[in-house]
């Protein structure tokens, strides 16, 4: 697979997009994925999606926020992350395709907070940090439920930032889908003693995302 890296100036500094173009068929949408506060685009779930989805007609754009490009160890404030993401949107839309906003952890929060105003075709929230570990009363459910476009949450079964059973039940007033990854932690790592292998856990993620993307209604195209 041929990848391409693009630098984009934002109010928060230089950001970077690594493009993984659709292969084998015409691209039908772009999936933009931001990273978390504790790591970059090398996260196992982001890598797995970038490898699996181009063959399904999905161009994957892995987005590095300015703080990460600058080599800083601490993530920027949420407002700054949102500013950087908004500034990247014209580059993400440049291929002329609908864009699904996504990310893992802090990147998922950014996608949820900005999806409506950016007219995203959907929101993919990987390892959404529903609350700080051990602080379920500090819920961030409103960010998720207020995203607007069709939303898919993929959550590890033992994620300390919120396991699947802690999320509000999907329904008419909470229209999102939730997929649980058995035994997965916040990084979707599974213990060696689990009855699910690491490869199987990643297949749950890629299969669920591919299926959901295939069912999305067309919107957000230029």
Classify residue 107 as exposed, middle or buried by CB count within 10 Å of its CB (0-12, 13-18, 19+). buried
Calculate ∠ Cα 134-139-144, nearest 5°. 130
Average pLDDT, the chain: 93
**pLDDT tens for residues 196-218?**
999 999 999 999 999 999 999 76
Instruction: Say how many Å lie between the first and final Cα of the chain, rounded.
Output: 26
**Strand pairing partners for 156?**
181
Distance CA 65, CA 10 (A): 9
CA distances from 188 to 143, 160, 200 (A): 22, 11, 11
> Using one digit for the tens of pLDDT, what is the confidence trace for 107-141?
999 999 999 999 999 999 999 999 989 999 999 99
Measure the CA angle with vertex 102, ends 89 and 45; round to 5°: 135
Q: Spell out the alpha helix ranges (H) of the chain.
A: 44-52, 66-69, 78-93, 106-118, 141-145, 198-215
Pick the most confident of 14-23, 134-143, 161-170: 14-23
Q: What is the largest CA-CA distance in the chain?
A: 48
- Tens digits of residue pLDDT in 57-107: 999 999 999 999 999 988 999 999 999 999 999 999 999 999 999 999 999
Q: What is the pLDDT of residue 171?
A: 75
Q: How far apart are CA 219 and CA 199, in angstroms?
A: 33
What percent of the chain shows pLDDT beyond 90?
85
Residue 222 — pLDDT band, cuts 50, 70, 90?
A: very low
Q: What angle do CA 153, 92, 26 make, to 5 degrees?
A: 85
When pLDDT is cut at 50, 70 and 90, the band that residue 148 belongs to is confident
Q: Enter the pTM of the model.
A: 0.94
């Amino acid at each position: 697979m041929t990848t391409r890296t693009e630098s984009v100036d934002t109010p928060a500094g230089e950001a970077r997009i690594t493009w993984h173009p659709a292969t084998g068929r015409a691209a039908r949408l772009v999936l933009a994925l931001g990273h978390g506060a504790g790591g970059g685009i090398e996260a196992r779930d982001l890598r797995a999606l970038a490898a699996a989805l181009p063959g399904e007609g999905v161009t994957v754009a892995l987005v590095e926020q300015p703080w990460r490009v600058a080599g800083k160890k601490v993530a920027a404030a949420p407002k700054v992350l949102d500013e950087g993401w908004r500034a990247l949107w014209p580059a993400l839309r440049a291929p002329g395709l609908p864009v699904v906003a996504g990310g893992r952890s802090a990147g998922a929060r950014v996608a949820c907070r900005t999806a409506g105003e950016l007219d995203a075709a959907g929101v993919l929230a990987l390892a959404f940090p529903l609350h700080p570990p051990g602080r379920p009363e500090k819920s961030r459910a409103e960010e998720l439920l207020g995203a607007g476009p069709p939303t898919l949450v993929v959550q590890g079964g033992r994620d300390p930032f919120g396991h699947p059973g802690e999320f509000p039940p999907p329904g008419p007033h909470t229209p999102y889908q939730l997929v649980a990854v058995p035994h997965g932690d916040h990084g979707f790592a599974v213990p060696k003693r689990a009855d699910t292998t690491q490869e199987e856990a990643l297949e749950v993620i890629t299969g669920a995302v591919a299926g959901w993307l295939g069912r999305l209604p067309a919107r957000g195209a230029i």
